[in-house]
Amino acid sequence: MATLGLDVPSDDELDGPTRVFKVTVVGDGSVGKTSICTRFAREYFLDSYKQTVGLDFFTRTLQLDDGERITFHLYDIGGQSIGSRMLGTYIAGSHALIFVYDLTNHDSLEDILEWYKTLKALGCTEGAVIYLVGNKTDLTTLRAVRAARGSAIAEAITAQAHYLVSAQTGDRIGVLFISLAGLLCGVDVSSLALDQRDISKVVLPERPSGQPEDLSSTDTTQADKAAKRVKGGRCVII
Protein backbone atom coordinates (compact mmCIF):
# COMPACT_ATOMS: atom_id res chain seq x y z
CA MET A 1 0.00 0.00 0.00
CA ALA A 2 1.36 3.43 -0.92
CA THR A 3 1.58 5.93 1.90
CA LEU A 4 1.88 9.68 1.88
CA GLY A 5 5.56 9.38 2.70
CA LEU A 6 5.92 12.23 5.21
CA ASP A 7 7.17 12.30 8.78
CA VAL A 8 4.70 11.52 11.57
CA PRO A 9 5.21 13.61 14.75
CA SER A 10 5.18 12.01 18.18
CA ASP A 11 2.46 12.64 20.76
CA ASP A 12 4.76 15.10 22.55
CA GLU A 13 4.86 17.22 19.42
CA LEU A 14 1.08 17.58 19.21
CA ASP A 15 0.76 20.31 21.83
CA GLY A 16 -0.70 23.60 20.68
CA PRO A 17 -3.90 25.12 19.34
CA THR A 18 -5.95 23.47 16.63
CA ARG A 19 -7.54 25.23 13.67
CA VAL A 20 -10.41 23.48 11.92
CA PHE A 21 -11.16 23.91 8.22
CA LYS A 22 -14.16 22.61 6.34
CA VAL A 23 -13.16 21.34 2.89
CA THR A 24 -15.90 20.26 0.49
CA VAL A 25 -15.12 17.90 -2.39
CA VAL A 26 -17.45 18.01 -5.41
CA GLY A 27 -17.65 16.63 -8.94
CA ASP A 28 -19.42 14.01 -11.03
CA GLY A 29 -20.00 10.48 -9.80
CA SER A 30 -17.16 7.94 -10.19
CA VAL A 31 -14.42 10.57 -10.63
CA GLY A 32 -12.79 9.40 -7.39
CA LYS A 33 -13.84 11.95 -4.77
CA THR A 34 -14.31 9.34 -2.06
CA SER A 35 -11.09 7.60 -3.06
CA ILE A 36 -9.14 10.85 -2.72
CA CYS A 37 -10.64 11.51 0.71
CA THR A 38 -10.01 7.93 1.83
CA ARG A 39 -6.43 7.95 0.58
CA PHE A 40 -5.68 11.17 2.46
CA ALA A 41 -7.61 10.51 5.67
CA ARG A 42 -7.01 6.76 6.04
CA GLU A 43 -4.13 6.03 3.65
CA TYR A 44 -5.74 3.25 1.68
CA PHE A 45 -7.51 2.81 -1.64
CA LEU A 46 -10.99 1.38 -2.13
CA ASP A 47 -10.82 -1.25 -4.88
CA SER A 48 -14.60 -1.40 -5.29
CA TYR A 49 -16.82 1.52 -6.26
CA LYS A 50 -19.62 2.53 -3.94
CA GLN A 51 -21.78 5.50 -4.87
CA THR A 52 -21.91 8.27 -2.29
CA VAL A 53 -25.51 9.12 -1.42
CA GLY A 54 -25.80 12.63 -0.01
CA LEU A 55 -22.41 13.04 1.62
CA ASP A 56 -19.62 11.24 3.45
CA PHE A 57 -17.37 12.74 6.11
CA PHE A 58 -13.63 12.33 6.68
CA THR A 59 -11.13 14.01 8.97
CA ARG A 60 -7.36 14.27 9.32
CA THR A 61 -4.98 16.53 11.23
CA LEU A 62 -1.81 18.27 10.06
CA GLN A 63 0.76 19.98 12.26
CA LEU A 64 2.95 22.99 11.54
CA ASP A 65 6.54 23.27 12.74
CA ASP A 66 5.52 25.94 15.23
CA GLY A 67 3.21 23.44 16.96
CA GLU A 68 -0.07 24.71 15.52
CA ARG A 69 -2.41 21.90 14.51
CA ILE A 70 -4.81 22.00 11.57
CA THR A 71 -7.75 19.65 11.25
CA PHE A 72 -9.40 19.12 7.88
CA HIS A 73 -13.06 18.14 7.93
CA LEU A 74 -13.67 16.72 4.45
CA TYR A 75 -17.23 16.72 3.13
CA ASP A 76 -17.47 14.31 0.20
CA ILE A 77 -20.55 15.29 -1.81
CA GLY A 78 -22.28 12.64 -3.94
CA GLY A 79 -22.17 13.31 -7.68
CA GLN A 80 -25.96 13.19 -7.97
CA SER A 81 -26.32 15.98 -5.40
CA ILE A 82 -25.82 18.77 -7.94
CA GLY A 83 -29.60 19.07 -8.23
CA SER A 84 -30.34 18.48 -4.57
CA ARG A 85 -32.09 21.09 -2.45
CA MET A 86 -29.66 20.14 0.31
CA LEU A 87 -26.56 21.06 -1.68
CA GLY A 88 -26.29 24.56 -0.26
CA THR A 89 -26.65 23.19 3.26
CA TYR A 90 -23.94 20.60 2.66
CA ILE A 91 -21.46 23.18 1.40
CA ALA A 92 -22.30 26.21 3.56
CA GLY A 93 -19.35 27.46 5.57
CA SER A 94 -16.68 25.74 3.49
CA HIS A 95 -13.22 27.24 3.75
CA ALA A 96 -12.15 25.42 0.60
CA LEU A 97 -13.79 23.73 -2.39
CA ILE A 98 -12.07 20.94 -4.30
CA PHE A 99 -13.55 20.31 -7.75
CA VAL A 100 -12.58 16.80 -8.93
CA TYR A 101 -12.66 15.41 -12.46
CA ASP A 102 -11.55 12.15 -14.07
CA LEU A 103 -8.60 12.43 -16.45
CA THR A 104 -10.04 9.57 -18.50
CA ASN A 105 -13.44 11.25 -18.87
CA HIS A 106 -13.53 14.55 -20.76
CA ASP A 107 -17.18 15.19 -19.85
CA SER A 108 -16.34 15.12 -16.14
CA LEU A 109 -14.02 18.08 -16.68
CA GLU A 110 -16.60 20.03 -18.67
CA ASP A 111 -19.18 19.35 -15.96
CA ILE A 112 -16.96 21.21 -13.49
CA LEU A 113 -18.25 24.41 -15.06
CA GLU A 114 -21.81 23.44 -14.12
CA TRP A 115 -20.75 22.52 -10.60
CA TYR A 116 -19.03 25.88 -10.21
CA LYS A 117 -21.99 27.77 -11.64
CA THR A 118 -24.36 25.99 -9.24
CA LEU A 119 -22.19 26.59 -6.18
CA LYS A 120 -21.61 30.21 -7.12
CA ALA A 121 -25.37 30.76 -7.44
CA LEU A 122 -25.76 29.33 -3.93
CA GLY A 123 -23.17 31.78 -2.62
CA CYS A 124 -20.80 28.94 -1.68
CA THR A 125 -17.75 30.08 -3.64
CA GLU A 126 -17.34 33.52 -2.10
CA GLY A 127 -14.33 33.64 0.19
CA ALA A 128 -13.45 29.97 -0.35
CA VAL A 129 -10.12 28.66 -1.60
CA ILE A 130 -10.78 26.79 -4.85
CA TYR A 131 -8.74 23.87 -6.16
CA LEU A 132 -9.23 21.90 -9.37
CA VAL A 133 -8.06 18.28 -9.17
CA GLY A 134 -7.71 15.76 -11.98
CA ASN A 135 -7.73 12.18 -10.68
CA LYS A 136 -6.50 8.86 -12.13
CA THR A 137 -3.05 9.86 -13.40
CA ASP A 138 -2.16 6.17 -13.16
CA LEU A 139 -4.45 5.39 -16.12
CA THR A 140 -2.01 6.94 -18.58
CA THR A 141 -3.13 5.11 -21.71
CA LEU A 142 -6.76 6.05 -21.10
CA ARG A 143 -6.20 9.77 -20.60
CA ALA A 144 -8.78 11.85 -22.46
CA VAL A 145 -8.23 15.38 -21.10
CA ARG A 146 -5.83 17.80 -22.75
CA ALA A 147 -3.61 20.06 -20.67
CA ALA A 148 -4.83 23.24 -22.33
CA ARG A 149 -8.47 22.46 -21.56
CA GLY A 150 -7.69 21.63 -17.96
CA SER A 151 -5.88 24.94 -17.57
CA ALA A 152 -8.79 26.79 -19.17
CA ILE A 153 -11.30 25.24 -16.76
CA ALA A 154 -9.05 26.04 -13.81
CA GLU A 155 -8.99 29.68 -14.88
CA ALA A 156 -12.75 29.73 -15.50
CA ILE A 157 -13.52 28.62 -11.94
CA THR A 158 -10.84 30.93 -10.48
CA ALA A 159 -8.90 27.99 -9.03
CA GLN A 160 -5.87 28.90 -6.93
CA ALA A 161 -4.24 25.60 -7.93
CA HIS A 162 -4.74 22.72 -10.36
CA TYR A 163 -3.43 19.33 -9.23
CA LEU A 164 -3.19 16.00 -11.03
CA VAL A 165 -3.27 13.04 -8.65
CA SER A 166 -3.88 9.33 -8.35
CA ALA A 167 -5.99 8.14 -5.45
CA GLN A 168 -5.04 4.58 -6.37
CA THR A 169 -1.26 5.03 -6.03
CA GLY A 170 -1.36 7.99 -3.64
CA ASP A 171 0.58 10.13 -6.13
CA ARG A 172 0.47 13.81 -5.04
CA ILE A 173 -2.41 13.35 -2.61
CA GLY A 174 -0.29 14.54 0.32
CA VAL A 175 1.13 17.41 -1.72
CA LEU A 176 -2.40 18.51 -2.59
CA PHE A 177 -3.57 18.79 1.00
CA ILE A 178 -0.32 20.22 2.36
CA SER A 179 -0.52 22.96 -0.25
CA LEU A 180 -4.13 23.60 0.71
CA ALA A 181 -3.18 23.82 4.39
CA GLY A 182 -0.56 26.40 3.51
CA LEU A 183 -3.01 28.60 1.61
CA LEU A 184 -5.62 28.40 4.36
CA CYS A 185 -3.13 29.18 7.13
CA GLY A 186 -0.90 31.66 5.34
CA VAL A 187 2.06 29.32 5.63
CA ASP A 188 4.84 28.91 3.06
CA VAL A 189 4.93 25.22 2.21
CA SER A 190 6.50 25.61 -1.22
CA SER A 191 9.54 23.43 -0.53
CA LEU A 192 7.57 20.70 1.22
CA ALA A 193 4.63 20.82 -1.17
CA LEU A 194 6.90 19.89 -4.05
CA ASP A 195 8.89 17.33 -2.04
CA GLN A 196 9.35 14.21 -4.15
CA ARG A 197 9.04 12.01 -1.05
CA ASP A 198 5.29 12.32 -1.48
CA ILE A 199 5.24 10.78 -4.94
CA SER A 200 4.62 7.04 -5.13
CA LYS A 201 7.03 5.56 -7.66
CA VAL A 202 5.13 3.68 -10.33
CA VAL A 203 6.12 2.47 -13.79
CA LEU A 204 3.65 3.72 -16.38
CA PRO A 205 3.29 2.45 -19.95
CA GLU A 206 4.36 4.72 -22.75
CA ARG A 207 1.67 6.95 -24.20
CA PRO A 208 0.45 5.70 -27.59
CA SER A 209 0.77 8.02 -30.56
CA GLY A 210 -2.18 10.38 -30.83
CA GLN A 211 -3.10 10.29 -27.14
CA PRO A 212 -3.60 13.67 -25.41
CA GLU A 213 -0.38 15.25 -24.17
CA ASP A 214 1.02 14.53 -20.73
CA LEU A 215 -0.40 16.76 -18.01
CA SER A 216 2.19 15.97 -15.35
CA SER A 217 3.69 19.46 -15.24
CA THR A 218 0.41 21.33 -14.84
CA ASP A 219 0.08 21.09 -11.08
CA THR A 220 3.74 21.91 -10.41
CA THR A 221 3.42 25.26 -12.13
CA GLN A 222 0.15 26.04 -10.37
CA ALA A 223 1.53 24.95 -7.00
CA ASP A 224 4.60 27.13 -7.37
CA LYS A 225 2.43 30.16 -8.01
CA ALA A 226 0.14 29.35 -5.10
CA ALA A 227 2.98 28.69 -2.67
CA LYS A 228 4.59 32.05 -3.41
CA ARG A 229 1.49 33.81 -2.07
CA VAL A 230 1.95 32.49 1.47
CA LYS A 231 4.70 32.69 4.10
CA GLY A 232 5.67 30.90 7.32
CA GLY A 233 6.79 27.40 8.40
CA ARG A 234 6.24 23.90 7.12
CA CYS A 235 3.76 21.20 8.02
CA VAL A 236 3.62 17.45 8.31
CA ILE A 237 0.79 14.96 8.07
CA ILE A 238 -0.38 12.84 10.99
The answer on pLDDT for 214 being more than 60 is no
Q: What is the pLDDT of residues 131-166, one digit of tens each?
A: 999 999 999 999 999 999 999 999 999 999 999 999
Interval 159-176 mean pLDDT: 95
Rounded-to-integer distance, Cα 50 and Cα 24, Å: 19
More confident residue, 116 or 228: 116
More confident residue, 200 or 131: 131
CATH class as words, domain 11-237: alpha beta
Interval 210-235 mean pLDDT: 46
Res 82: pLDDT = 80
CA angle 60/120/117 to nearest 5° reads: 105
Angle between helices 106-121 and 147-156 (to 10 degrees): 0
pLDDT band at 43 (very low <50, low <70, confident <90, very high): confident
pLDDT band at 203 (very low <50, low <70, confident <90, very high): very low
More confident residue, 103 or 194: 103
Where do the domains of the chain lie?
11-237
Q: What is the dihedral of CA 95, 151, 105, 176, to 10 degrees?
A: -40
Q: What is the pTM of this model?
A: 0.77
Give percent of the chain above pLDDT 90. 53
Phi and psi, residue 133, nearest 5°: -130, 125
